[in-house]
Structure 1
Amino acid sequence: MRLQGKTAIVTGAASGIGRAIAERFANEGAKVALADLNAEAAEAAVEGIRGAGGEAMAVAMDVADEGAVNAGVQRVLDAWGKVDILVSNAGIQIVKPVEQFSYAEWRQMIAIHLDGAFLLTKACLPSMYANRFGRVIYMGSVHSKLASPLKAPYVAAKHALLGLARVVAKEGGPKGVTANVICPGFVRTPLVERQIPDLARQYGLSEEEVARTVMLKDTVDGEFTTVDDIAEIAVLFAAWPNAALTGQSLIASHGWCME
């Protein structure tokens, strides 16, 4: 098992990509803290992991609240003594043109996607530095590389995660910490499912047309990326044995974005 003896925090872990990563980490031997605003759903996910023989805990956390982040990380430290792996995955989506975004909506999106990543990193790094080992993984997007209409704060935040990862990689490298970004294409999670009707209204298309002609039109095979695809990449970054792989971003998008 590639993560035996490691402890991990995964945010937004009650469903979708975060849950798949948490389950895969547990299968690979890690102790996993599933952090989510929805504590009840996180507990249900934890029970699933425990039922499969893994070790996990649920942590109620608003990633945009510094006090909640610090308390949640401290709970993991109190229980398991260290944090080896952080997966900053929590996110939401609001779809509308720039001029229709309220400032409050902009701030909410930036707070969850970018401020949350910063707060979690800041809270976890002291343990990683003390143990001379850490793997910081940010959930970016193809929108870390490309822009799409109607997603200004999301695209801005996902672009910014690349810069944050590169700084953490530079600062953390001498102390045994790597930082990388996963950049998925469209994954059919609850977050994406909620986007489809919004985009259908904005573009005047059917929901099926949105999936086919907006979301998947530039893929090589017309297929959604899966949560299992992304979980496998998370294990790759988490288990990588040295700093040869740091400050990088890995795109998994069925060819939608290539570099």
Structure 2
Amino acid sequence: MKLKDKSCIVTGAASGIGNAIAHKYASEGGKVAIADIKIEAAQAAADEIKTRFGTDAMAVAMDVTSEEAVNAGVAKVVEAWGGVDVLVSNAGIQIVNPVEQFAFSDWKKMLAIHLDGAFLTSKACLPHMYAKGSGSVIFMGSVHSKEASPLKSAYVTAKHGLLGLARVIAKEGGKKGVRANVICPGFVKTPLVEKQIPEQARELGISEDEVVSRVMLGQTVDAEFTTVEDIAEVALFFAAFETNALTGQSLVASHGWCME
């Protein structure tokens, strides 16, 4: 059991990648807080984990753009489990538009969820990790942390920013036993990605099949989507890696779309 009795917070974990990570952590003995803005879905996810794995799990209502909500959610976990060992900042959305048509309100919303969310959850969790002398902070980046694509100015900007924030946390937290890493998935067929297919087809003037075959999978080595299970394995690897050897690093999981 690689995470036995570890207290783990995963944001945006009611569905998709976050949910797969929560299940993986629970399967390795972790106590998992499903932190999500959709509290009913979060409670259902937590109940499923408890039933399936027999481990502690709880639902935490959390709007990651609200400092008050983040602090309250983290406090709830600390009160129940005595601290925080692993934070996975995964909550995210996608909005696509050309730069000249990108509403400023949408720009701010994207950066708030992806960047402010990572900052606020880290800020709330780090003191508890420092008190223990150990911890793992994991941000859900993207291939777009390394590359750019049309129509995704805010998303690309935010995902690039996560690399910088993780590196700062790695520098500040190293002597206190806290590591920081970024997972950079390629296209994972979640509801977030499925929503993009018709949107990009419309914006680019191509068919939905072409969006999948050319835009999403055209640069992979095997025309395969990355799976939520793939990303959950990477999240486990970073969470369970106990030394500072890999702190500040990012790992791309994209079926060869982006290679470093």
Q: Same fold (TM over 0.5)?
A: yes
In structure 2, C-alpha distance between the alignment counterparts of 1:54 and 1:196, rounded to whole Å: 37
In structure 2, C-alpha distance between the alignment counterparts of 1:15 and 1:206, rounded to whole Å: 27
Match of 2:11 in 1: 11
In structure 2, C-alpha distance between the alignment counterparts of 1:94 and 1:5, rounded to whole Å: 37
By how many angstroms is 1:35 displaced? 0.4
By how many angstroms is 1:204 displaced? 1.7
By how many angstroms is 1:54 displaced? 2.3
In structure 2, C-alpha distance between the alignment counterparts of 1:197 and 1:55, rounded to whole Å: 39
Letter in 1 for 2:249: Q
What is the correspondence of 1:23-42 to structure 2 with a 5 Å cutoff?
23-42=23-42
In structure 2, C-alpha distance between the alignment counterparts of 1:138 and 1:221, rounded to whole Å: 26
Q: Secondary structure at the match of 2:84?
A: coil
Once the two structures are superposed, what CA deviation does each residue of 1:114-155 show, in whole Å capped at 9, x if it has no partner? 000000000000000000011000000000000000000100
In structure 1, C-alpha distance between the alignment counterparts of 2:20 and 2:55, rounded to whole Å: 13
In structure 1, C-alpha distance between the alignment counterparts of 2:204 and 2:157, rounded to whole Å: 22
In structure 2, C-alpha distance between the alignment counterparts of 1:215 and 1:225, rounded to whole Å: 11
Match of 2:230 in 1: 229
In structure 1, C-alpha distance between the alignment counterparts of 2:55 and 2:224, rounded to whole Å: 31
In structure 1, C-alpha distance between the alignment counterparts of 2:230 and 2:58, rounded to whole Å: 24
In structure 1, C-alpha distance between the alignment counterparts of 2:193 and 2:28, rounded to whole Å: 27
Once the two structures are superposed, what CA deviation does each residue of 1:6-39 show, in whole Å capped at 9, x if it has no partner? 1000000000000000010000001000001111
In structure 1, C-alpha distance between the alignment counterparts of 2:110 and 2:242, rounded to whole Å: 33
Once the two structures are superposed, what CA deviation does each residue of 1:62-86 show, in whole Å capped at 9, x if it has no partner? 0001100000000001111100000
Letter in 1 for 2:180: A
In the superposition, the TM-score normalised over structure 2's length comes to: 0.99
Question: Which sections of structure 1, spanning at least 5 residues, go unmatched?
Answer: none
Once the two structures are superposed, what CA deviation does each residue of 1:48-103 show, in whole Å capped at 9, x if it has no partner? 10111222000011000110000000000111110000000000000000011111
In structure 2, C-alpha distance between the alignment counterparts of 1:218 and 1:99, rounded to whole Å: 27
In structure 1, C-alpha distance between the alignment counterparts of 2:207 and 2:49, rounded to whole Å: 37
Match of 1:21 in 2: 21
In structure 1, C-alpha distance between the alignment counterparts of 2:42 and 2:3, rounded to whole Å: 21
What is the correspondence of 1:109-120 to structure 2 with a 5 Å cutoff?
109-120=110-121
Name segments (4+ residues, structure 1) moved above 2 Å.
none
Match of 1:127 in 2: 128
Match of 2:247 in 1: 246
Letter in 2 for 1:28: E
What is the correspondence of 1:111-190 to structure 2 with a 5 Å cutoff?
111-190=112-191
Letter in 1 for 2:220: T
Letter in 1 for 2:8: A
In the superposition, the TM-score normalised over structure 1's length comes to: 0.99
In structure 2, C-alpha distance between the alignment counterparts of 1:43 and 1:81, rounded to whole Å: 21
Letter in 2 for 1:30: G
In structure 1, C-alpha distance between the alignment counterparts of 2:183 and 2:4, rounded to whole Å: 22
Identity %: 69
Q: Secondary structure at the match of 1:225?
A: coil
Once the two structures are superposed, what CA deviation does each residue of 1:214-243 show, in whole Å capped at 9, x if it has no partner? 100000000000000000000000000111
Match of 1:48 in 2: 48
Aligned residues: 259
Letter in 2 for 1:254: H
In structure 2, C-alpha distance between the alignment counterparts of 1:209 and 1:102, rounded to whole Å: 26
In structure 2, C-alpha distance between the alignment counterparts of 1:27 and 1:129, rounded to whole Å: 26
In structure 2, C-alpha distance between the alignment counterparts of 1:187 and 1:74, rounded to whole Å: 32
